[in-house]
Amino acid sequence: MNNAPLVSIGVPVYNGEESLARTLDCLLGQTYKNIELVLSDNASTDATAQICQEYCARDHRIRYVRQEKNLGLPGNWTYVAEQAKGEFFMWAAADDHWEPEFVETLVKKLLVEPEAILAFCPYRLFNKETQDYEGEEILEDYGHRHALVRIYRLTRLFLDRSNHGLIRRQHAKDIEYKLWLFPKITTVYNVAFPSLYFLAAKGNFVLTSLDKPLWRKTMTSKPAHDLPHARNPGLTYLGHVIRKIHLFFRSLAYIRRGADSYLFMLACVPILFARMTYDIVVPVWVVLKVLISGKKMKDLSPHDFWKMGVR
């Protein structure tokens, strides 16, 4: 591709020795060659630093930074976005997989759709314990020429992996990953939704490669954390409610920033309020189902709760 625009790929990593080399091989092996990898090691305590240094010495397209202290997951994801220099930008988790044509296909789509702000594709979920795919391919179709319809589609489906698509960097540079309230309480939530609302309010999303998934998201089915709901379900549910209220107001704030309109933000209030109410009620129903089935809460992972509808 002549005069190919630079694509920045932000790779935030912490203790990723198990999968990082495979991920870097995958990204550096893209058919689209004009890329830079912004590799941020979040003060890892395993062999991540050594792997990063080896790859940095091997390929000049890598910019490697080892953080002196742990920035937290949100801080590290924000950091790689701030350091990007390319016309286009994407986040890359340190344990995912991309087909070789992923970047090239999405770049071509954005070049022919100059009004679009983000390009994405179908994807699959991959269970790292079973080493097998979960379910069918997933399509997050949030695109529409009207911003309010985009907000509705995002709120209804409420999947956040479009955040791993290719974004026009000038629109991504204002995104910040903020810590939730009660950040020490481990739950199934992340901090991607406000940024997606920001982008959806700002411009259109487009899909490509509809006949072939180009990305594989790695998931875990094991309890990966000390889950507080196994010790104090009441406290965890309170945290859930507070987080959902927090998400409601933060998402509206990001919509206002993206659209640069308080009137548009107010038009989105009923949509987001309905989602918040639904998400506050669902965990009660899920816990009842778990108890009736005879399962133990402590044996379930965040992904298990996600599959049962907890968002």
Q: Is the pLDDT of residue 201 over 70?
A: yes
Which secondary structure element, helix H or strand E, spans residue 207, and what is its range? Answer: strand 204-207
What is the crossing angle of helices 193-202 and 147-157, to 10°? 160
- Residue 272 banded pLDDT, cuts 50, 70, 90: very high
pLDDT at 246: 86
Q: Which of 251, 222, 253, 268 is nearest to 311 (CA)?
A: 251
- Residue 176 banded pLDDT, cuts 50, 70, 90: low
Q: Is the pLDDT of residue 218 over 70?
A: yes
Taking CA atoms, 277 is separated from 247, 273, 281, 296, in Å, by 12, 6, 6, 26
- Residue 237 banded pLDDT, cuts 50, 70, 90: confident
Q: Whole-angstrom Cα distance, residue 40 to residue 68?
A: 11
Residue 149 backbone phi and psi in degrees, to 5? -70, -40
Q: Is the pLDDT of residue 181 over 60?
A: no
Which secondary structure element, helix H or strand E, spans residue 163, and what is its range? Answer: none
Q: Which residue has the higher pLDDT, 294 or 97?
A: 97
Q: Are 275 and 155 in contact (CB under 8 A)?
A: yes
Q: What pLDDT, in 10s, does the model give residues 9-46?
A: 999 999 999 999 999 999 999 999 999 999 999 999 99
- Residue 274 banded pLDDT, cuts 50, 70, 90: very high
Q: Which of 178-182, 183-187, 263-267 has the highest mean pLDDT?
A: 263-267
Quote the mean pLDDT of the chain. Answer: 87
Taking CA atoms, 70 is separated from 47, 53, 81, 113, 289, in Å, by 16, 18, 17, 38, 38
What is the arithmetic mean of pLDDT over 227-256?
79
pLDDT at 175: 65
**In the structure encoding, which two tokens stand for residue 52, read together?**
């990063």
Q: Is the pLDDT of residue 261 over 80?
A: yes
Q: Whole-angstrom Cα distance, residue 180 to residue 151?
A: 21
Q: What pLDDT, in 10s, does the model give residues 93-151?
A: 999 999 999 999 999 999 999 999 999 999 999 988 888 898 899 999 999 999 999 99
pLDDT at 121: 97
pTM: 0.88
pLDDT at 227: 46
**In the structure encoding, which two tokens stand for residue 7, read together?**
């694509």
Q: What pLDDT, in 10s, does the model give residues 55-93?
A: 999 999 999 999 999 988 778 888 998 899 999 999 999
pLDDT at 1: 58
Q: Whole-angstrom Cα distance, residue 155 to residue 58?
A: 43
Q: What pLDDT, in 10s, does the model give residues 139-170?
A: 999 999 999 999 999 999 999 899 999 999 88
**Domains in the chain, please, with CATH?**
1-95 (3.90.550.10), 112-311 (no CATH)
